[in-house]
Structure 1
Amino acid sequence: MSPIAPRVAVVAARWHADIVDVAVTTCTDELEQRGYTVDVVHVPGAFEIPLQVRRRALSGQYVGVAAAALVVDGGIYRHDFVASSVVDALMRVQLETDVPVFSAVLTPHHFHEHDEHTGYFRRHFETKGRELAHAMDATVSLPLVGG
């Protein structure tokens, strides 16, 4: 009988999905090649990510949960505050649930919706997806201490 594949989740925002999904796809492909089962959950925006990450962490079904979003300055709100709030919440979830939580919630200083920036960030999110998969695998593979 073959061992059960470890299960992880990636919670991804739909804002700028054409860019965010590059990280999600790259991360998912890398993790599946390493023997993980990956569930992807889509939420409207970055602000909705922490609750879904927490629900998955508390479910007992996942050895790790990741988040992916691109939070940009839309001119109406302070995007840096949104990104900071999301990342702070993800850290709290990790510490409260003892389930590793990973972040590819990124907020650039400057982003303009034209081909040059979109192309740059797609390439950047491809790299971030690989880094996310590596961090997840390296962290959940660590031996448990205490417990």
Structure 2
Amino acid sequence: MGRSLNIAFIKANWHADIVNQALMGFREAMEASGQPFTIDVFDVPGAYEMPLLAKRLGKTGAVDAIVCAALVVDGGIYRHDFVAQAVVSGLMQAQLETDIPTYSVSLTPHNFQPAEEFIDFYQGHFVKKGAEAANAVLTMAKLEARIDDLQ
């Protein structure tokens, strides 16, 4: 399995009851993998703050991966599209500048309503997306190890 992976998990507090499910799915998938890991969780006010924190964490060199989770909803204006694009672009830039893999578990539904059926659906979806992020972290860690062996 290799050495323990140090993972930073950044999550936005908007719709925390939904977004927190990504951490649960991520943690469950990592534990099921058998890969040793530690996880530090960082709560930020909203999605917009995630790229800066990801960049700062990446620059420390203390983490092997950064996972960011947020729910950016359409509140009847187009602002959510701009926020979502800025967040994804910022996370990509952070990983390119720091050389630390950075993952987005950020959803931008156009039809979200604070009703039970929507909340239930997105809570379940975030669990799945968290597990997908864990699989991506594990896959990239193996690829990083292969690259290290080439040097």
In 1, are the aligned partners of 2:3 and 2:36 still within 8 Å (CA)? no
CA distance, structure 2, for counterparts of residue 39 and residue 77 of structure 1: 33
Match for 1:31: what amino acid? M
Deviation digits for residues 97-117 of structure 1, max 9, x if unmatched?
Answer: 111110101101210010010
The alignment's C-alpha RMSD in Å is 1.7
What is the deviation of 1:6? 1.5
Query: What are the residue-to-residue correspondences of 1:88-107 with 2, within 5 Å?
Result: 88-107=89-108
TM-score normalised to structure 1 length = 0.91
CA distance, structure 2, for counterparts of residue 75 and residue 123 of structure 1: 24
Cα pair distance change 1:32/1:53, threshold 3 Å: farther
CA distance, structure 2, for counterparts of residue 76 and residue 124 of structure 1: 24
In 1, are the aligned partners of 2:29 and 2:131 still within 8 Å (CA)? yes
Per the alignment, in what secondary structure is the counterpart of residue 9 of structure 1? strand
**Equivalent residue, structure 2, for 1:35:** 36
Unmatched runs of 5 consecutive residues or more in structure 1: none
**Equivalent residue, structure 2, for 1:144:** 147
Is 1:45 the counterpart of 2:59? The answer is no
Match for 1:45: what amino acid? G
Number of aligned residue pairs: 145
CA distance, structure 2, for counterparts of residue 89 and residue 96 of structure 1: 10
Per the alignment, in what secondary structure is the counterpart of residue 30 of structure 1? helix
Deviation digits for residues 69-91 of structure 1, max 9, x if unmatched?
Answer: 00001235510110110000000
Is 1:5 the counterpart of 2:8? The answer is no
Query: What are the residue-to-residue correspondences of 1:4-23 with 2, within 5 Å?
Result: 4-23=3-22
Query: What are the residue-to-residue correspondences of 1:70-85 with 2, within 5 Å?
Result: 70-75=71-76, 78-85=79-86
**Equivalent residue, structure 2, for 1:135:** 136
CA distance, structure 2, for counterparts of residue 55 and residue 38 of structure 1: 16
Per the alignment, in what secondary structure is the counterpart of residue 73 of structure 2? coil
Moved more, 51-60 or 135-144: 135-144
**Equivalent residue, structure 2, for 1:108:** 109
CA distance, structure 1, for counterparts of residue 110 and residue 76 of structure 2: 13
**Equivalent residue, structure 2, for 1:86:** 87
What is the deviation of 1:60? 0.7
Match for 2:51: what amino acid? P
Per the alignment, in what secondary structure is the counterpart of residue 103 of structure 2? strand
Q: Deviating runs (4+, > 4 A) in structure 1? A: none
In 2, are the aligned partners of 1:32 and 1:38 still within 8 Å (CA)? no
Deviation digits for residues 19-58 of structure 1, max 9, x if unmatched?
Answer: 0000112112322442111111000100011111111101
